[in-house]
A and B are shown apart, each in its own frame.
Chain A
């Protein structure tokens, strides 16, 4: 659990940390779209440099971001092999017996890897530089115009923030139940398939039951404190849009525009 880098918030003091979550989410979306336009070598260099700048400004180390790629290594290798076998365009680079490796195969795979790397870079920066609750708040604000067409932006955000608040509590409870069942002879590590299933059931059922009870109690507590999702509510946490946010957003739009232009023109 402690080794997951993707998704974890790091309390550093960087300029990226100070950007409004709404801006960050929007920038992520804009750049993600730009990444999917094929602007060739120049395009990838431009956007690659921009992303690396962001990583640097967020005071993150490239090695940290690379760690997030590790789980994908297997898939990427598989992709490389697939492409090498399937793609027969471009110049022939290497000939091994009757088997030929074409340049386009290599480049295509390379571009996929670069895209993946950039996406992971950006999402890692987003989650590392934004507290989960600020992220939720940012999402809620961005989605609130959709309330007009019936999308329950506030309720979704409330659900996410309560879920986040209870993750540590649930982890503690899982440990407690595991110990209680271990005291009844359950072995969570070894055993036949049947025994393992029985072990998991003895863990999951109590967890579910106590979670339902918890949900009921929470709902009662919230309502008793006059919670009404449909009524107007003020918010303790305020988001303030600043010059920094505008500058960041504008520069991302500019970069994206450049990329799209290059890919369309070339």
Chain B
């Protein structure tokens, strides 16, 4: 299977000797849904910017869709990626929703006569059609992030990176965005990378890359990553609720395996209850 992203021996420092990224290597397969997980300060927040060449790496190499990231390929690489950043206000460039989605299209030299159609199409996909002429000050955080996603989808990237895109939103906003990302994942053939510290979001993904202090702690699927609950807690993260409950129930010999998915746990417990 081909690779969307390949990172080899990456090193990066914000300041001298402040080893923000201290030797990281990993790959992300095309079409997968990967979460890069870590506490604040683990280095995860710089990865998206390094991949897009917004920060200059100290050493190592980054390959996006087969293109190595160097100064000459900067814009080419960026056209393969779309990043939704954390602060909903600080990535809203246009004066209205319409203008903001158009911004990316302008950068890609799309024919102005075709822009309206594209804008209307993607605004509809993110459920913001009624708000096309609204100014950003009249929108909620969740709505602004939806517009950001529309703007990115309109540029048709292969990879979409959500850089803590929900951390500044209220629960309603978080839900809106997570549902939208789920839909995107199902309907489009895109690689989705989510950078977060939210555990319940992380368990939805196929793979997790767990970071700690600039280094990779472990890589694997959610089941594998959350086995070591003690270590997870040491790293300043939460353990998924379903795992906590099922772990205790295993100790009480009521269950024989642990779960990270709440729905599955509820279903299996109910089956046990009914058998009684």
Q: Does chain A have a CB within 8 A of B103? A: yes
Query: CB-CB < 8 A to B94: which residues of A?
Result: 165
Known: A164-B95, A218-B91. A225 touches B107 (CB 8 A): yes
Complex interface: stretch among B108-116, B189-197, B261-269: B108-116
Q: Does chain A have a CB within 8 A of B123? A: no
Contact among B82, B92, B107 for A233, CB-based, below 8 A? B107
Contact among A169, A218, A226 for B155, CB-based, below 8 A? A226
| Cβ distance A17 to chain B, nearest Cβ, rounded Å | 17
| Cβ distance B158 to chain A, nearest Cβ, rounded Å | 14
For A121-146 the 0/1 string (1 means CB < 8 A from B) is: 00000000000010000000000000
Known: A224-B83, A232-B109, A234-B110. A169 touches B103 (CB 8 A): no
Query: CB-CB < 8 A to B91: which residues of A?
Result: 217-218, 221
**Contact A172 B137, beta carbon cutoff 8 Å:** yes
Q: Which B residue sits closest to A131, measured CB to CB?
A: B95
Q: Does chain B have a CB within 8 A of A161? A: yes
Contact among A162, A218, A225, A233 for B109, CB-based, below 8 A? A233
Q: How far is the CA of A223 from the CA of B155 in the complex (A)?
A: 13
Q: How far is the CA of A233 from the CA of B112 in the complex (A)?
A: 10
Q: How far is the CA of A214 from the CA of B91 in the complex (A)?
A: 9
Query: CB-CB < 8 A to B83: which residues of A?
Result: 221, 224
| Cβ distance A112 to chain B, nearest Cβ, rounded Å | 38
Q: How far is the CA of A235 from the CA of B106 in the complex (A)?
A: 6
Query: CB-CB < 8 A to B110: which residues of A?
Result: 234
Q: Does chain B have a CB within 8 A of A238? A: yes
| Cβ distance A213 to chain B, nearest Cβ, rounded Å | 8
Query: CB-CB < 8 A to B78: which residues of A?
Result: 223-226
Contact among A169, A234, A235 for B137, CB-based, below 8 A? A169
Q: How far is the CA of A218 from the CA of B92 in the complex (A)?
A: 8
Q: Which A residue sits closest to B106, measured CB to CB?
A: A233
B51-103, CB < 8 A from A: 52, 54, 75, 78-79, 81-83, 85, 87, 89-95, 98-99, 102-103
Q: Does chain B have a CB within 8 A of A89? A: no
Q: Does chain A have a CB within 8 A of B39? A: no
Q: How far is the CA of A133 from the CA of B136 in the complex (A)?
A: 15
Q: Which A residue sits closest to B92, measured CB to CB?
A: A165
| A-B CB proximity, top 5 nearest | A217-B90, A236-B102, A221-B91, A226-B107, A225-B104
26 A-B pairs with C-beta separation under 8 A: A133-B95, A164-B95, A165-B92, A165-B93, A214-B89, A218-B91, A220-B49, A221-B85, A221-B90, A221-B91, A221-B93, A224-B82, A225-B82, A225-B104, A225-B107, A226-B79, A226-B107, A226-B155, A228-B75, A232-B109, A233-B106, A233-B109, A234-B105, A236-B98, A236-B106, A236-B112
